[in-house]
Amino acid sequence: MTESAPGAAASAHATGLDHDEISFWRTYVFSTDHKMIARQYLFLGLFMALVGGFLAYAMRWQLAYPDTAVPGFGFVGPETYNVLVTMHGTTMVFFVAMPILLGAFGNFLIPLMIGARDMAFPRLNMLSFWTLAVASLILLSSFLVPGGAASAGWTGYAPLSARSIYTGVTWGLNLWILAHAVEFASFLMGGVNFLTTAITMRATGMSFFRLPLVIWQQLTAAILFLLSVGPLIAAAVMLLMDRIAGTSFFVASGGGDPLLWQHLFWFFGHPEVYVVLLPAVGLAAEVLPVFSRKPLFGYRWIIYSTIVVGILSFIVWAHHMFLSGMDPRLAMPFSITTILISVPFAILVFAMIATLWGGSIRFSVPMLFALGFVAMFIVGGLTGIFNGSAPANIQVHATYFIVGHFHYTLLSGLFFGGFAGIYFWFPKMFGRMMNETLGQVHFWTTMICFNATFFPMHLVGLGGMMRRIANPLQYEFLQSLQPINVFITISAIGLALSQLVFLVNVGWSLVAGRTAEQNPWQATTLEWATPSPPPHGNFDALPVVYRGPYEYSCPEVSEDWLPQDRVLVARSG
Amino acid sequence: MKTPAATQAMITRLPPGKIGVWWFLASEVMVFGGLIGTYILTRLGSAGWSAEAAHLSAPMAAINTFILLTSSMTMVMAFAAVEKNNDRGLRTFLLLTIFLGLAFLGIKAYEYSSHLRAGFMPSTGSFWSFYYTMTGLHALHVLAGIIVNLILFVMARGPLVNGHRVELAGLYWHFVDVVWIFLFPLLYLT
């Protein structure tokens, strides 16, 4: 019974490719096709990026020209500034990075790359997206309620977040918690779907060690998310009880412990960094061999490193809390595990650089962004070592050094990894090539403005500027740093404007871009073995896989690439 | 480049539904694990909890434990009926499971109301905060299980389709049962 029923469902799915006309609503809105859902995630993420980016702009303006009206926004006082900080972080991490890197790319790539017709649970997939859409609406609606949106920081530290009177925010913060809860539900459903699909739906011959790396990274991210988010859900329930039912889980005066929130938050928060980062690493790792025309260096080592990162990420969380008042004896073990995690990441970066060695590199736009990711990520990783060792961390804790470091790791993943992915798979997603010239302009302006924005943050941080002050001029020792703050703001506006080039490129390419052929980059993985964009059901006949994903410059064929599904008569495989 | 043999949909015989439910339960373990771990740590770090816990009614919770364990048994029997293609048995045992779940919630509600009447609010102290939050979250899970079973019951009025869903719902129902097995001694008996 249990064996036959899912099998029957799957074969019905395989044969009933329902090519008959589907209504507009079922095609574009309530679609169960993983490719359409991926595009929905992508556009939702891009829309929320505009919101989060606008908040960042208002924040930066306030820091450069304190207490002047922000053009297009208005006057920002300290309370509003706290709202900007909180909502910028929340929006960008949970409603931009996760929808784009996991929602869009995970959904689009997993079935195509493993040679499946769709996800294991297509309707659950649709539900995941619409749950996320509801969560986004809840988050946006929190701007409109009396008392304003949440202002306790994106980490929502207790007791600030545990009692309304401390921030003056009542429903805004409750809705903030609710938006998180709904978002978590969405990505839990998504994660279950990713894992089940990859475990049960792989094409014949697609063993785990023939999976493209980005799939491994997506799956690791999904497992990390599934196993780390639980304690934060529990913490969110407790926080909501503190705010609504008057309990004292996180309030010391009532017998609770504010530090408890930090432990539960960072037990999730640190794996979450890798939930966002690993898929970005995977996107870059897919692009590099294609444009180097070389097999990826150290395929299995990258997989092992990814797994080690995943395991270690559960035992590093207290490095966010060296100055929180926790038992100082914990600082040493958490320093050690944190420094330890740089070993697998060093292997990842080394493998990506070694892939380039001796390759015939094509500097197409996806490749530029992938290279940009590697370069920027090294900066983020190196500053991470500063933060990981407790003595150095104490110096830079809660300064702009942290803000700079954080943006070099996560934003480099989203910007450079994510854009590499978008430029690379845009032909497959939409059937049209993106404009190369505009892409080059986008890359170089982004690269310059990104560094001009975030590198100086390390400097003001070392100068002592705290990460969450609304007006740096109120401290005498920070006044000499103000020119740097103005420079950062101008660069940040430049960074925002460079993204307009991208939006123009997307809009133009969707309408008038050159029609993409099936395999425009001459790549080997399965998604390139089907038309661009793939039809409903992805493949005419499901592919059979004969080899690993990175067979470039293989001497056995005349072309310099050997697709995973090509039969070679002379070779047994 | 494609062979006709490539029409096989799956290389594994693993049923997707079951794998999905197990991953879901793994994440649920972490939710309750976080809550229970927090409870244990907080309780070890402070005094006076036993006196608070003494206000709870252990006999009533013992009856509730018995009810929930019995409901797990009827759930298993519902699945056994599915395997024998016994429509009538399936409906009977699903209905029994639903009733036992409702009985559990009823007793829980009676307990809550008697605590509240005695003046023990969630805000009374740390023990009561944990008591209401943990049992409340668990009760919501029981409620969700009842709804799932109700849907299966409605579906089972016709000829048997998707009988494997009874097994999947059963996995969840047993999980909710197991959580209670942890909550009962932690809250009532210590």
Per the CB < 8 Å rule, is B12 touching A188?
A: no
Structure tokens at A542: 């499901």
Q: Determine the 3-state secondary structure of A70 from DSSP.
A: strand
CA gap A507, A34 in Å, rounded: 22
The mean per-residue pLDDT over the stretch B152-158 comes to: 86
The mean per-residue pLDDT over the stretch A352-368 comes to: 95
Residue A222: pLDDT band with limits 50, 70, 90: very high
Element (H, E) at A554: none
pLDDT at A424 over 60: yes
Residue type, A210: R
The share of chain B scoring above pLDDT 70, in percent, equals 92
User: Chain B partners of A10 at a C-beta cutoff of 8 Å?
Assistant: 9-10, 16
Residue A569: pLDDT band with limits 50, 70, 90: confident
B3 near A CB under 8 A:
yes
User: Chain A partners of B23 at a C-beta cutoff of 8 Å?
Assistant: 191-192, 195-196, 226
pTM above 0.90, yes or no: yes
- CA angle, A9 then A12 then A13, to 5°: 85
Structure tokens at A392: 């150095």
For A153, phi then psi, to 5°, come to: 85, 155
Point out which residues pair with B122 in neighbouring strands.
none
Quickly list H helices, A65-77: none
User: Least CB-CB distance to A229: which of B11, B27, B32?
Assistant: B27
Residue B13: pLDDT band with limits 50, 70, 90: low
Point out which residues pair with A399 in neighbouring strands.
A466
Q: Kindly identify which residue of chain B lies nearest to residue A562, measuring between CA atoms.
A: B1
Across chain A, what does the average pLDDT equal? 92
pLDDT at A501 over 90: yes
- Our CA-based measurement puts residue B180 at a distance from the nearest CA of chain A, in whole angstroms, of 16
A384 in Cβ contact with A405 (< 8 Å): yes
Residue A568: pLDDT band with limits 50, 70, 90: confident
Does the predicted interface ipTM exceed a cut of 0.85? yes
The share of chain B scoring above pLDDT 90, in percent, equals 72
B84 secondary structure, DSSP code: T
B119 near A CB under 8 A:
no
Neighbours of B136 (CB within 10 A): 16
User: Chain B partners of A563 at a C-beta cutoff of 8 Å?
Assistant: 1
Kindly list the structural domains of chain B, giving each domain's residue range(s) and its CATH number in brackets, ordered by start. Answer: 57-189 (1.20.120.80)
User: CB-hemisphere CA count at 13 Å for A543?
Assistant: 26
A478 in Cβ contact with A472 (< 8 Å): yes
Residue A27: pLDDT band with limits 50, 70, 90: confident
pLDDT at B74 over 50: yes
Residue A253: pLDDT band with limits 50, 70, 90: confident
User: Least CB-CB distance to A204: which of B8, B121, B132?
Assistant: B8
pLDDT given for residue B180 in this prediction = 97
Residue A573: pLDDT band with limits 50, 70, 90: very low
CA gap B147, A487 in Å, rounded: 58
Structure tokens at B77: 């029997």
B6 secondary structure, DSSP code: G
Point out which residues pair with A432 in neighbouring strands.
A515
User: Least CB-CB distance to B133: which of A238, A542, A544?
Assistant: A238
Per the CB < 8 Å rule, is B167 touching A188?
A: no
Structure tokens at A420: 């590499």
- Our CA-based measurement puts residue A64 at a distance from the nearest CA of chain B, in whole angstroms, of 42
pLDDT given for residue A269 in this prediction = 94
User: Least CB-CB distance to B10: which of A10, A529, A539?
Assistant: A10
pLDDT given for residue B130 in this prediction = 94
User: Chain A partners of B139 at a C-beta cutoff of 8 Å?
Assistant: none
Residue A3, burial from CB neighbour count under 10 angstroms (0-12, 13-18, 19+): exposed
Residue type, B82: V
User: Least CB-CB distance to A200: which of B7, B14, B31?
Assistant: B14
CA gap B136, B140 in Å, rounded: 6
Residue B125: pLDDT band with limits 50, 70, 90: confident
A255 secondary structure, DSSP code: T
pLDDT given for residue A15 in this prediction = 41
User: Least CB-CB distance to B122: which of A2, A245, A541?
Assistant: A245
- Our CA-based measurement puts residue B104 at a distance from the nearest CA of chain A, in whole angstroms, of 22
pLDDT given for residue B8 in this prediction = 41
Element (H, E) at A545: none
Three state DSSP letters for A497-535: HHHHHHHHHHHHHHHHCCECCCCCCCCCCHHHHCCCCCC
Residue B65: pLDDT band with limits 50, 70, 90: very high
Structure tokens at B138: 């668990």
Listed range (A72-86, A303-317, B160-174) with the worst mean pLDDT: B160-174
Per the CB < 8 Å rule, is A563 touching B1?
A: yes
Across chain B, what does the average pLDDT equal? 89
pLDDT at A101 over 50: yes
Residue B51: pLDDT band with limits 50, 70, 90: confident
Task: Report, in angstroms and rounded to the nearest whole number, the Rg of chain A calculated over CA atoms.
Answer: 24
Per the CB < 8 Å rule, is A254 touching B35?
A: no
Residue B52: pLDDT band with limits 50, 70, 90: confident
Per the CB < 8 Å rule, is B122 touching A246?
A: yes
Please report, to the nearest 10 degrees, the dihedral formed by the alpha carbons of residues B124, B125, B130, B131 taken in order: -50
Residues 68-107 of chain B with CB under 8 A from chain A are: 82-83
Per the CB < 8 Å rule, is B13 touching A563?
A: no
A196, A266, A545, A567: best to mutate for the B interface, most B CBs within 10 A: A196
pLDDT given for residue A439 in this prediction = 97
The mean per-residue pLDDT over the stretch A524-535 comes to: 94
Element (H, E) at A162: none
B28 near A CB under 8 A:
yes
Listed range (A204-208, A292-296, B10-14) with the worst mean pLDDT: B10-14
B190 in Cβ contact with B50 (< 8 Å): yes
Residue A2: pLDDT band with limits 50, 70, 90: very low
User: Chain B partners of A241 at a C-beta cutoff of 8 Å?
Assistant: 122, 129, 132-133
A118, A121, A204, A253: best to mutate for the B interface, most B CBs within 10 A: A204
Query: Given the structure tokens 């434990």, which residue do they identify?
Result: B65
The mean per-residue pLDDT over the stretch A194-208 comes to: 95
Length of chain A: 573
pLDDT at A418 over 50: yes
Residue A497: pLDDT band with limits 50, 70, 90: very high
CA gap A286, A28 in Å, rounded: 28
Per the CB < 8 Å rule, is A234 touching B38?
A: yes
CA gap A294, A562 in Å, rounded: 11
pLDDT given for residue A365 in this prediction = 97
Q: Determine the 3-state secondary structure of A135 from DSSP.
A: helix
Three state DSSP letters for A312-359: HHHHCHHHHCCCCCCCHHHHHHHHHHHHHCHHHHHHHHHHHHHHHCCC
Neighbours of A228 (CB within 10 A): 25
pLDDT given for residue A29 in this prediction = 87
A237, A243, A526: best to mutate for the B interface, most B CBs within 10 A: A237
* CATH class of segment(s) A29-529: mainly alpha
B86, B133, B152: best to mutate for the A interface, most A CBs within 10 A: B133
B6 near A CB under 8 A:
yes
Which of B21, B152, B16 has the alpha carbon at shortest distance from A5?
B16
The mean per-residue pLDDT over the stretch A447-453 comes to: 97
pLDDT at A134 over 70: yes
Query: Given the structure tokens 């970066």, which residue do they identify?
Result: A349
B54 near A CB under 8 A:
no
pLDDT at A20 over 80: no
User: CB-hemisphere CA count at 13 Å for A358?
Assistant: 7
B8, B10, B126: best to mutate for the A interface, most A CBs within 10 A: B10
Q: A–B: how many Cβ contacts below 8 A?
A: 187
